[in-house]
Amino acid sequence: DAGVIQSPRHEVTEMGQEVTLRCKPISGHNSLFWYRQTMMRGLELLIYFNNNVPIDDSGMPEDRFSAKMPNASFSTLKIQPSEPRDSAVYFCASSTGVKNIQYFGAGTRLSVL
């Protein structure tokens, strides 16, 4: 199994630009999670989907952030417009729901200049 696949691995952009992060969950997993990790705040859940439906987006910091899951094998996290404080590592994770065990992708390191 290829695991959770995220792209790009690194993204450098300028303030005000739109950023789109992508995630392909493990085949057969029906839950998908987006996290953000910073030194200051640690690993925080932004939003999660169950069967492609957003269940809880209470962790999304503000309206500049949006996430979609158009099908079971693809999700995006978009930031528009991006700001320097959005610089972080963004992880995607997926789960079958069995015992709530989540498997993480390699992450996208975002730098907003």
Partner 1 sequence: QKEVEQNSGPLSVPEGAIASLNCTYSDRGSQSFFWYRQYSGKSPELIMSIYSNGDKEDGRFTAQLNKASQYVSLLIRDSQPSDSATYLCAVIWSGTASKLTFGTGTRLQVTL
Burial class (CB in 10 A: 0-12, 13-18, 19+), 92: buried
Q: State which of positions 59-88 bind partner 1 (CB under 8 A).
A: none
31 is a contact residue toward partner 1 (CB under 8 A): yes
Q: Which of 2, 28, 42, 62 contacts partner 1 by CB under 8 A?
A: 42
34 is a contact residue toward partner 1 (CB under 8 A): no
Q: How far apart are CA 6 and CA 59, in angstroms?
A: 20
Q: Which of 11, 29, 33, 77 contacts partner 1 by CB under 8 A?
A: 33
Q: How many CA atoms lie within 13 A of 34 on its CB side?
A: 33
Q: Which of 24, 60, 82, 105 contacts partner 1 by CB under 8 A?
A: 105
Q: How far apart are CA 99 and CA 102, in angstroms?
A: 9
Q: Which of 11, 102, 110, 112 contacts partner 1 by CB under 8 A?
A: 102
